[in-house]
Structure 1
Amino acid sequence: MSQPFTLTVNGRDHSLDIPATTPLLDVLRNHLGLKGSRYGCGLEQCGACMVLIDGNAEYSCSREVGTLAGRCVTTVEGLGSPEALHPLQRAFLEEQAGQCGYCLSGILVSAKALLDRNPNPTRADVIAALDANLCRCGSHPRILRAVLKAAATLRQEVA
């Protein structure tokens, strides 16, 4: 049964009238037109669907939208724009950190959560933070370099 509620995504409020059990990923992609988060496995195994919920990287494939009242959701689209890339997005491009790109939105979101809580991560910190994100392309060394490069850039911007 549908119920009306408001969902805050990327800083904007959206009024929805859908079942509270609808997966967040479905709402993002099919109701709000935000295609950055991907469906990979639907079982919290691959991380392609990761979004930030109140700053924490969480799976959106299995998260019921009705549990998000009063919470802030940020998708990869909310990190930056084509005109003003987030330092993570810029570093991923500079390091050529993706091949097929299917996993990258989830990786970017997970990396953002890491850098928000730890602005000076070690390589081991990055590896641990991205453990929930599966990439089969073999871009891992470039992904790690990109996250560490973005961390350095963000530290310089703050200084």
Structure 2
Amino acid sequence: MNMAQIQLQAARDADAADYAPVDLGFAQNKFQQAQAAMASRKYEDAANLADEARSDAELALAKARLGAARAKIQSKVDENSRLRERMEQAHPELSGQPSSMPTGLPAAAPTGDMPAPSSSVLQAPLPGAGGFQTVPQDGAPPTDTHQGAQP
């Protein structure tokens, strides 16, 4: 019963009445039923109802926290929009540019596509070497530089 009462109070403190009124109502109703069962000496029913009340209160608390977080995010989005509008009014020359791109910097040079190395550049894995090696530039056969190394 105590845990249910604690969770109910936590849900109320988190404004569950505003963000999750149905779940809070379920929790309060179950808690009242649990109290009535205790008064009637139906302890098993009281324990089950108190557990349900605690669960409903936890759900209401989670929904209240989620609702409060969403409200906070929305207020920040609204504030950012107002600031963006004020900036565009103060600096109309910036209104066509993406907001994430700093102004006054030179544009990046296009890099184009970089081709993958041809298959002739790579050879089959060396026996016991544990991987691929590139063919040396001078055409000499590759050497196993990992000889004697433990895997």
Common fold: TM-score over 0.5: no
Superposition TM-score, scaled by structure 2 size: 0.22
Superposition TM-score, scaled by structure 1 size: 0.22
Give 1 or 2: higher helix fraction: 2
Give 1 or 2: higher strand fraction: 1
Greater relative CO (CA pairs within 8 A, separation 6+): 1
